[in-house]
Amino acid sequence: MNSLILVLLSIIGYVLAYRIYGRYLGKRIFEISTGHLMPAHEFEDGVDFVPSKKNIIFGHHFTTIAGLGPIVGPAIGIIWGWLPAFLWIFLGSIFMGAVHDFSTMIVSARNKGISIGELTGKLISPSTGFAFQFIMQFLLFIVLSVFAMIVSTLFIMYPESVIPVWAQIPIAIWLGNRLKKGKDGFLWSLLSVLIMYGTIIIGVYFPVHIPASTENAVIVWWCIILFIYVFIASTLPVQTLLQPRDYINSLQLIIAMGLMFAGIVVAHPAISAPAVNHEAFSHGSGVPSMMPALFIIIACGAISGFHSLASSGTTIKQVDKEQDTMFIGFGGMLTESFLAVLVLMAIAGGLGMGIFNSDHVLLKGEAAFRNYYSDWNMLGSIKANLDAFITGTSNLFNAIGIPPRFGKSMIAVFIVSFAGTTLDSAARIQRLSLQEIFRDKEGKVRKPINNRYVATLFIVLAAAAMSFLKPGGKGALLLWPLFGSLNQLLAGLALGVVTIYLFLKKKNIIYTVIPMGFILIVTLWAMVENLLKFIKAKEILLSGLSLVILLLTGWLIIGGIISYFKNRKI
């Protein structure tokens, strides 16, 4: 199979899915119209609720939901073979992920821009709302703490990325000021990206290292710097830093995707990875069973619960018109899925173009793939997860004349930038969710959580405390084994809330109830397996938290069923 054929087929499929399935859902099921007052206008405050152009919000939403997910997930999931990974990414994104992202955005828009957690309390019951909010807060807490460590580690792995990543901040603030003054958005955005690429060249020649005695000490210093940055960035008005920085990053990603596609067109490498990796299915291989692991590991490229938090947490508070939600929500998810397909092809095809192993022997074809995927334990670190992608992409870039040294630096900056975007977007989403929890009956947020600085400080300090429980800022890794299934659990529960909304509106619920059922089944399957594994290993903390989350999930599901039958009689 040639990688170019698969990429072209996926492009055609995504375009048709958007124009046919997406538009059908928007017009017939959710009845998008110009008659709905958007939260960005109703509650405009110049900080979180700010009506903006759809291309700007697309950039913000895209970079918020993308992060490392559509890279790391396929980079691990391909161990079962490129075919099952591709089918889950392609079909999952169309019939599950895009529906999930778009529908949660629409439902939030029609309920004053509240988060999916508070919406649960409104549509089902207050108690289930608190249960959902607890799961949300727990997931975001893990994201904030772990991603600080991940970004710090990436700065050590790719010191050439430090200057361009931090240079994005003044560039973004400058771009934001230009856009506020009504300047030509495309022209100034293009100039900003060109400046940023100029800093990449500087970074190659001037890599930045923090002088410290150990790697753990360097990570701690980077974590402290990042937590300070997160506090500042997530309390600033969105149009000052968040929007323009994310817009620059989205353009950076689109350029990177364009270059990857160009490399595939020029090189059109044959897929050297096996369609189905039979060795991964053999007994004693060490690779976990594909069911349900594949559907948990590959999340963001297909469906991810974090997306519903972004859709209802920050994105919808900036959308100008309801029609824009189709492009931002449905289109954003399909674009992210296409990124996951390109990642898959960079590994499945790009690696086969040639790599040098640790003994400096040139490997090509399936031998190059096996160099990374002969052992499940090799995929246990950040470096191992990313190295196959970076090497394969560098080969594709080299095919169109970009030297490997600069190609790897471009990809490194792209990876670190998106990880950083997830970091401060998660902090803002968590702060807004926390303020919803402390809202009284009159709708006012109780003091002192009503103050965005106080609420954000509480969140950042809690995440920092968790990070520093272990040396090297790795405290949150204690909770990381819960993240994958917890993330997918949120996706299933969010689709459940949308299903209740559609049922109350007397709309056909089949488009959300089928993906909801599938993702809940595989997620609960994975969670039960994890719980048994934690109990066997005598992991008391993880066992207790897993049990609590399963009980809360049962509470939410039962509450949804009761709400369904109660309203069915009306």
- What gap in Å lies between CA 565 and CA 134, rounded to an integer? 25
- Residue 327, pLDDT score: 96
Q: How far apart are CA 217 and CA 104, in angstroms?
A: 41
In the prediction, which pLDDT does 181 show?
A: 66
Residues 526/293, Cβ–Cβ less than 8 Å: yes
Predicted pLDDT of residue 228: 96
Give CA–CA dist 43/46, Å, rounded: 9
Give the separation between CA 57 and CA 332, rounded to whole angstroms.
10
* DSSP, residue by residue, 113-142: T--HHHHHHHHT-HHHHHHHHHHHHHHHHH
User: What proportions of the chain, in percent to the nearest 5, are helix, strand and coil?
Assistant: 75, 0, 20
Structural domain range at position 521 = 3-568
Give the HSE-up count for residue 314: Cα atoms under 13 Å, Cβ half-sphere. Answer: 31
Helix (H/G/I), strand (E/B), else coil: 319: strand
Calpha distance 248→242 (Å, rounded): 10
Q: How many domains does the chain have?
A: 1
pTM comes to: 0.94
Question: In the prediction, which pLDDT does 185 show?
Answer: 66
Residues of the chain with pLDDT under 50: 570
- Encode pLDDT of 473-515 as tens digits: 889 888 889 999 999 999 999 999 999 999 999 999 999 999 9
Task: Please identify which residue in the block is written with the tokens 């053999």.
Answer: 282
Q: For residues 102-120, b (16+ Cβ closer than 10 Å) or e, as one string?
A: bbbbbbbbbbbbbbbbbbb
- Rounded to whole angstroms, how far apart are CA atoms 125 and 171? 45
- Which pLDDT belongs to residue 306? 95
pLDDT score of 184: 56
- The Cα 520–Cα 377 span in angstroms is 28
Q: What pLDDT shows up at residue 22?
A: 97
Q: What CATH code is carried by the domain that includes residue 269?
A: 1.20.1740.10
pLDDT of residue 249: 87
- My answer on whether omega of the bond before 481 falls inside 30° of 0, hence cis, is no
User: What's residue 143's pLDDT?
Assistant: 92
Please tell me the distance from the alpha carbon of residue 403 to that of residue 537, in angstroms, as a whole number.
48
